Each structure stands twice: as structure tokens, then as C-alpha cells.
Structure 1
Amino acid sequence: MGLLANLTLVFVAGFITALATGIGALPFFLVERVSDRWNVALWGLASGIMVSASLFGLISEGLANGTPAELGVGLAAGVVLVVVSHRIISGLEVSPKRYEQADFRKLLLILGILTVHSFPEGVAIGVSFADLNLDGGFSLLGFSVPLLAIFMTIAISIHNIPEGVAISIPLQSMGVSKWRMVWWAVFSSLPQPIGAVIAFYFVRIAREFLPFGFGFAAGAMIYLVLSEFIPEALELGKAVPGGGRAELVSGLVVGVLIMVPLAFI
């Protein structure tokens, strides 16, 4: 397979994760609201999956391809990316209901904010495809796809579902139609396939930076869980008996169990 075919597959994987965000809006076709209990469990599930994928997959691969020091530098860089991203978008609120009336400059601003927010997930997908069509892997449509890439694509997709729910809740309250809720949920994650392609291309042309890449993706993912996913779950849990801790822990455990096979590949 040529480079263009590889890049296309990586883009498709990233696009699948973006589409998964739209799934978070689908429950609103059936119910008026998704209960806080289910939201807490979903955030817990996403957290367990992301941490496990980082530990069992990205960090493990990073150590296999480089030194602990190289991995550590990558981890630190990933954390810095998320911290800087949070500072950039802190205080910036963009109302999705106004997207349709936004001029070109406003749309560029919106896309920029979403890119900053979604880029770490896209990087994780792209780095996980580093060994695409190299030794080993799972045969898929003529490609030899690393199992880590399959796990990571599934992990990011599952993570995006509760994010889609979180995006859809305020949209529904503002009277946005259900299908437009699905569209804007997907739109919020469209930078992910772009980030995936950029990260994949970089680690393929500069293989010596692969351990840094794995560390970078893992650091960003783990810090996102600690700084965003868990706090979001705990905030939602305030309205649930017991603070939602049982639902959060249950989701975490299920997420870890889903990803345990990755540790034995």
C-alpha cells in the first residue's frame, strides 16, 4: 500500500471517531433528557477506556520502541499540550445555535477552538497507526492494521459518545432541531481525523520520534481524563444519590475490562 492509501485509512479511522460523537445526540430522539446517572457512568466508561488504552497500549509501545526518558519527555509534552489548550479555550464560549448565522471569520474561530480541543484524540489515533502495513497486525481491506490502532479507534469512539451527549444537552435547551444536534456533535470532533493524519505522517517519516509520539499521546489522554472526564463525571454526580460515585466506579471498571486484552497483545 502506498502512502496515500495509508493516509486515507488513518483519516477514515479518525472520521469514524468523529461520527461516534453524533451517537451522543441520538438518545434525544427517544427521550427528553439523558439521566445524570447514565451520564456519570458513560464518563466513567470513557475514562477507564482511555487510561487503559494509554497504559496497556501507548506507554507499552513507547517503552518497546525507545527509552523511559524518551517516553517521559513525550508524556510531559502531551500534558503541556492539554494545559495550553485549556488556557486557550478558557472563557471562550461559542453558541452552536449561532453557527448558521456566523460569517466566515467566526467559523474559522469556531473551528480553531474545536481543533485545539480535539487534537490530542486525533494524535492518539494517528500514532497508534504507526506500524500500519508493517510486520504483524490485523488484515483489513488489504491493509495490515496494528491491533493497537483498532483498540485506540474504538476507545476514542466510545469516549466521544458521552461528549456528544454533553454537547447536545445545551443545544436541546436552546431549541436546536434533533438532526442539527447530531450534525454539530459530529462537527465538534471533525478535527480528529485531521490530527490523526498529521500525527501518522510525522511518525512514519521520523521513526526515531516514535517513542516521543507514543508518550505524547498517552500523556495527553491521561491528563484529559484527570482534568476533564473525571471532574465532569463528579459534577454531574452531584445530582445523583451517593454523589454518583458508584456509577463512576462501575463505568471505570467496565472500561478497564474492555481494554484488558490490549495488555496481552
Structure 2
Amino acid sequence: MPLFGELAIVFVAGLLTGLATGLGVLPFFLTEQITGRWLVALWGIAAGVLLSAASVGLLIEGATDGEFAHVAAGCLAGIGFVYGVDRLLADYDLVTGTDISPDRRTIILVVGVLTLHSLPEGVAVGVAFADVDPDVAFTIGEFGVSTLAVSMLVAISIINVPEGLAIAIPLVASGMGRWRVVGWAVFSGLPQPIGAVGAYVLTASLQQLLPVSFGFAAGALLYLVVAEFLPAGVSAGEALPGGGRTELAVGTVVGFLGMLGLLTLL
């Protein structure tokens, strides 16, 4: 099969994993408004999902594929990068005379970080398709799709669903319409087909860079959890008994364990 045909197959595979992010918004079509304990718990669930994805899904996976020092360096770079963007957005009014509301700043950070995070997932898909695997699940023309590639495609798609939920929570909480939230969730997954194609073409070099990119994405997610999701949960629970800390803690544990179960299973 010509290279163009192979790249088209890999692109479609990456696109499918990216589109799966939109499925995370589905629960919000079942309710008109989310307030009180449920809102606090949802902030916790989102924080737990991202914390599990960062620690188990990215840091440990990156350390498995390469040296821990490279992963740690990428992690620190990711934290520093998102902190810099956060400060830039906080000072936006000083530069332009226009104020960015806290909700809008959070939306920009959440969508931006999770869009950035989706690129290494796309790279993982591309590497799986390019990796030599003697077990061929099926063929498309002359192109053999390995069982490793199929497994990675299914795994990333399933993992993207709770990540879509993590994107949806702050957007829905800010009052954004459900279909717009779906659009932003899908948008955050669009780098995956790009990363998949790039990784398929440059497999050897990208495999060496994977530990750093995993660490970078993990650092970005960790900053998001500590600086945005958990404080937002605390703020949403101020009027609840005990400040809503129990609901936030339970939600965080549920999100972490749920995502950990998926990562372990897949």
C-alpha cells in the first residue's frame, strides 16, 4: 500500500480516539443544572481523573519507556509552562485593558492543557501502528493492522471518555451550552490524529522523545488539578456543611480509582 494510504489509515485511527472525548459530555444531557453537593463532587471527580491520568497513565508509563530523569524534566517543564500561561492570562487586563473572568481563564487553561495532553496519546497510537508486531488483527488492502495497534486504539478511546468528562465539568459549571461543550471536548482531541501521523512517520525519534512528552503532559495536568480543579471544588462547596470537603474528597477518590481501574484494565 502507498505511504499516503497508510497515513490515511493512521490518521483515521487517531481521529477516532480524539472523537471519543466528546462522549464524556453525555451525562450532562440528562440534567439541566448541576449545583450543591453534586457540583462539588463532580469537581472532585474531574480532579481525580486527571490526577490518575497524570501519575499512572503518564509518569509511570513514561518512566517505563525511558529514564525517569527525562520524565521528571518534562514534568517540571509542563508545570512551568502552564504556570506561565496562567500568569499571562491573569495579567491580561494589564496588557490590553480587558479583564478575563475567572471562569473564562479556567476554560482557556482546561481546554488548552487537555488539548496539549492529547498529543502524546496520538503519538502512542502512531507508534503502535508503526511498531512491528507479528500478530495481525486484520488487513486493510495490503496494510496489516496489528493486535497492538487495535489494543492501543481501543484503550486510548476508552480513556478519552472520562477525560472528556473532566473537560466538560468546568465548561458546564460556567453555564456553557451542552453542544458547545461537546465541540470543545472534541476539539481537545484533534491533536491526536496529527500526533499519530507524525509518530508513524518518525517512529524512532519520537519513541526517544515519548518519556519527555509524557512528563510534560503530566506536569500540565498536575498543575491544572492543584491550581484550578481543587480550588474550584472548595469554592463551590463553601455554603455546604463542612465546606463541602467531604464531597470533594469522595469525588476525587472516585475519579482517581475509576480512572486507575481503566488504566490497569487496558
What range is the shorter-chain TM-score in?
A: 0.7 to 0.9
Residue 218 (structure 2) pairs with residue 189 (structure 1): no
Residue 111 (structure 2) pairs with residue 120 (structure 1): no
Q: Give me the whole-angstrom Cα distance separating, in 2, the residues matched to 1:217 and 1:60.
A: 12
**What pairs up with 1:1-265 in 2 under 5 angstroms?**
2-18=6-22, 20-21=24-25, 23-24=27-28, 26-28=30-32, 33-90=33-90, 91=92, 93=100, 116=112, 118-123=114-119, 125-129=121-125, 131-133=127-129, 134=131, 135=133, 143-146=149-152, 149-150=156-157, 152-168=159-175, 171=176, 181-204=177-200, 205=202, 206-261=206-261, 262-263=263-264
State whether residues 53 and 155 of structure 1, in contact with CA within 8 Å, keep that contact through their aligned partners in structure 2. Answer: no
**Structure 2 CA distance for partners of 1:84 and 1:188, relative to 1, 3 Å:** farther
Q: CA deviation at 1:136?
A: 10
Q: CA deviation at 1:93?
A: 3.8
Q: Give me the whole-angstrom Cα distance separating, in 1, the residues matched to 2:39 and 2:188.
A: 23
**Structure 2 CA distance for partners of 1:81 and 1:15, relative to 1, 3 Å:** farther
Unaligned 5+ runs, structure 1: 95-111, 172-180
Q: Give me the whole-angstrom Cα distance separating, in 2, the residues matched to 1:83 and 1:233.
A: 20
Deviations 1:115-151 (A, max 9, x none): 64543343354355354334599x7996523275245
Identity %: 28
Q: Give me the whole-angstrom Cα distance separating, in 2, the residues matched to 1:47 and 1:136.
A: 39
State which structure, 1 or 2, has the greater radius of gyration over its C-alpha atoms.
Answer: 2
AA aligned to 1:145 is S
Q: CA RMSD in A?
A: 3.4
Q: CA deviation at 1:207?
A: 1.9
Deviations 1:148-203 (A, max 9, x none): 524531331231231342132xx5xxxxxxxxx12322233343122333444455
**Structure 2 CA distance for partners of 1:59 and 1:114, relative to 1, 3 Å:** closer
State whether residues 23 and 161 of structure 2, in contact with CA within 8 Å, keep that contact through their aligned partners in structure 1. Answer: no
Q: CA deviation at 1:217?
A: 1.3
State whether residues 237 and 245 of structure 1, in contact with CA within 8 Å, keep that contact through their aligned partners in structure 2. Answer: yes
Unaligned 5+ runs, structure 2: 93-98, 102-107, 140-144
Q: CA deviation at 1:229?
A: 0.7
State whether residues 11 and 196 of structure 1, in contact with CA within 8 Å, keep that contact through their aligned partners in structure 2. Answer: yes
Q: Give me the whole-angstrom Cα distance separating, in 1, the residues matched to 2:220 and 2:185.
A: 16
Q: Give me the whole-angstrom Cα distance separating, in 1, the residues matched to 2:7 and 2:243.
A: 50
Q: Give me the whole-angstrom Cα distance separating, in 2, the residues matched to 1:248 and 1:114.
A: 19
State whether residues 15 and 192 of structure 1, in contact with CA within 8 Å, keep that contact through their aligned partners in structure 2. Answer: no
Deviations 1:47-67 (A, max 9, x none): 112111222221111111111
**Structure 2 CA distance for partners of 1:119 and 1:89, relative to 1, 3 Å:** farther
Q: CA deviation at 1:249?
A: 0.8
SS at match of 1:120: helix
Q: Give me the whole-angstrom Cα distance separating, in 1, the residues matched to 2:238 and 2:23.
A: 30
Q: Give me the whole-angstrom Cα distance separating, in 2, the residues matched to 1:52 and 1:118.
A: 14
Q: CA deviation at 1:24?
A: 3.3
SS at match of 1:34: coil
TM-score under structure 2 normalisation?
A: 0.73
Q: Give me the whole-angstrom Cα distance separating, in 1, the residues matched to 2:164 and 2:218.
A: 16
State whether residues 75 and 218 of structure 2, in contact with CA within 8 Å, keep that contact through their aligned partners in structure 1. Answer: yes
Q: Give me the whole-angstrom Cα distance separating, in 2, the residues matched to 1:22 and 1:241.
A: 30
